[in-house]
Chain A
């Protein structure tokens, strides 16, 4: 029997969680105040995952960059692989929220998508 203490990152409450493991199998999760915490705790002790956010260069846009994220969590060990997959990536304006910037980033099976709108330069001046 092994016990691991975690702080849940599922939401800003940051609940302290105790996970009990028996030979790699989670036998109990305590301290969480919602389902999200239970999910997080089980994942964190077996296959920890994170959402990765960054930016890529935009050409011909009102902004120099567009913000991006992995559409869903990726394995924690793959964070820097995802970052490297973004290196040198350039997209052309316009860019819309949800546009796929890098499909299947670093072999994670997860797409990297845009999280902001970038209009073409000269367009939409109010």
Chain B
């Protein structure tokens, strides 16, 4: 069986950044396994611009952003296999894949970096009643058809969910000649970035109805219409508020779910909140030597943060295979998301292992204005930062400093919470 120091599952933005960082940290033997016939992952179909301001200080389209990392991977001579589907990752880090040329083959990995990304929630998961005709697509499927293949999946479109892909597709389909009648959002706030509301909906006069959902789907062969209704505070449709939309297409942009079937198979502990692995400060899962980054770990709003996080995972994996991070059995501090904070990544911190500065990313459960992001070391408040607004659609982050944590011997819990002004 062939062996590699690091095997990276997924050649999207996370896998690429992890590979580059691991290579630059001194690991030579790296293999990226990618199921598509090119590297770059979902970025290849995100042809809109707005990527890379953080990473490259310029505004790039998705394929351009991906191309920079792909070029770096090629320049560094990092090995990758395309059209290759990983079918199993074992607890002892044997990664089994299948492709046309090699058939089923296994490689032994010193460390594994999980970078499989996420999938879209489907209609079934939403439980929308009605018929099951053609014309219902997840926004990402429509994005692939329109942006990669040049096909129009419909001409009169209703979009359910105001996640970024839905907003982006509202604009894309409008530009390509379709008419987008409505974006309906179940929540009282949008799930996407504010700037996407402006440049994807407002620019084209596409209405956004918050606290609305699709309550019925009509059409036995091709979709012929949907019924939209207002929902109450608990998300239940309010009888009498139904409106009929004649359309041939319903796009769903109702959430992303980290794709962790392989991780589960390896025995990786999955958080019920993020649906991603529970990781420590090194982005290492409960299985030693298996790391995770990007949307398989938790769903990000910006690819720049994915790259940043994945680089950290790549560096950690490189340290692991060099034996630098053999378990020191030191103290473990638990991260405690509280009062409006749904989760934090990482979930655990071993202060001895952390970098001088470490970014903790998290999301809030609901929109909150004029509030504070607060951090407590056990009972003591150590950070109290004012935020004009925080929203579930946008990832938040704070930076923890190793020095300050070490200055609190005996520290057990770091709490991150939202506090009212």
Chain A residues in the interface with B (C-beta under 8 A): 6-12, 14, 16, 50-55, 57, 62-65, 67, 69, 76, 79-80, 83, 97, 115-117, 126
Contact = CB atoms under 8 A, between A and B. Distances in A.
Contacts of B59: 51
Contacts of B48: 53
23 contacts: A7-B197, A9-B198, A9-B199, A12-B394, A14-B193, A14-B198, A16-B388, A50-B199, A53-B48, A54-B176, A55-B148, A55-B150, A64-B148, A64-B150, A65-B148, A69-B47, A69-B49, A76-B203, A79-B203, A80-B175, A97-B67, A116-B63, A117-B63
Interface in B148-183: 148-150, 175-176
Contacts of A115: 47, 61, 63-64
A115 to B, nearest CB: 4
Given A12-B301, A97-B67, 19 more contacts: A6-B198, A8-B195, A9-B195, A12-B50, A12-B302, A52-B175, A53-B48, A55-B146, A55-B147, A63-B148, A64-B148, A67-B47, A67-B61, A80-B175, A83-B175, A83-B176, A116-B64, A116-B67, A117-B63
Contacts of A52: 175
B329 interface: no
B257 interface: no
Chain B interface helix/strand/loop/mixed: mixed
Nearest to B45: A67
B147 A67 contact: yes
B274 to A, nearest CB: 20
A65 B193 CA distance: 28
Interface string B60-74: 010110010000000
Contact of A126 (B53, B81, B195): B81
Contacts of B203: 50, 76, 79
B44 interface: yes
Contacts of B47: 53-55, 67, 69, 115-116
Contacts of A54: 47, 175-176
Contacts of A117: 63, 67
Interface in B92-115: none
A53 B59 CA distance: 13
Shortest 6 CB-CB distances between A and B: which pairs? A14-B194, A116-B63, A67-B47, A9-B195, A115-B61, A65-B150
B61 A69 contact: yes
A7 B199 CA distance: 10
Contacts of B44: 116
Interface string B185-201: 00000000111011100
A14 B147 contact: no
B82 interface: yes
B159 to A, nearest CB: 19
A12 B195 contact: yes
A125 to B, nearest CB: 9
A51 B63 CA distance: 15
Contacts of B49: 51, 53, 69
Nearest to B177: A83
Contacts of A51: 49, 59
B357 to A, nearest CB: 21
Given A12-B301, A14-B195, A97 B175 contact: no
B336 to A, nearest CB: 27
A11 B196 CA distance: 10
